[in-house]
Amino acid sequence: DTAVSQTPKYLVTQMGNDKSIKCEQNLGHDTMYWYKQDSKKFLKIMFSYNNKELIINETVPNRFSPKSPDKAHLNLHINSLELGDSAVYFCASSHRTSLETQYFGPGTRLLVL
């Protein structure tokens, strides 16, 4: 009964490839997020969707495209992967406002060679 799940857990790929990371939550939340954690463990928000609508879009290259087919899913597609994309990507979900706790997935460790 995992609350927020991500697949895959590990992803090793070559520069220039396109890859996707999937996220699903079964908490009934209406808002989902993608965060990037760099090698220094610094967490930075990338995107947020509320009811399939994009509400946060930080300064992220156009190569990153989130897709939310429904409230329970938020996938992250990355085109033309670069070395600097290597990081841990965390999905999270919550009810919309910042008053609510965000529940995080286990993370996807992406390594671009």
Question: Site residues (CB under 8 A) for another protein?
Answer: 4, 31, 33, 35, 40-45, 48, 50, 55-56, 90, 92, 94, 96-102, 104-107
Our CB check for another protein shows the closer of 2 and 80 to be 2
Nearest Cα to 70, choosing from 23, 9, 3? 23
CB neighbours of residue 36 within 10 Å: 20
Per-state percent for the chain, helix, strand, coil, to nearest 5: 5, 55, 40
Q: Where are the alpha helices (DSSP H) in 12-108?
A: none
Instruction: Tell me how far, at minimum, the Cβ of 9 lies from another protein, in Å.
Output: 11
Question: CB-wise, 28 or 40, nearer to another protein?
Answer: 40
**Which of the 8 DSSP states describes residue 85?**
G
Count of other CB atoms within 10 angstroms of residue 53: 10
CB of 95 to another protein, least distance (A): 8
- Shorter beta-carbon distance to another protein: residue 2 or 79: 2
Least separation, in Å, of the C-beta of 70 and another protein?
Answer: 18
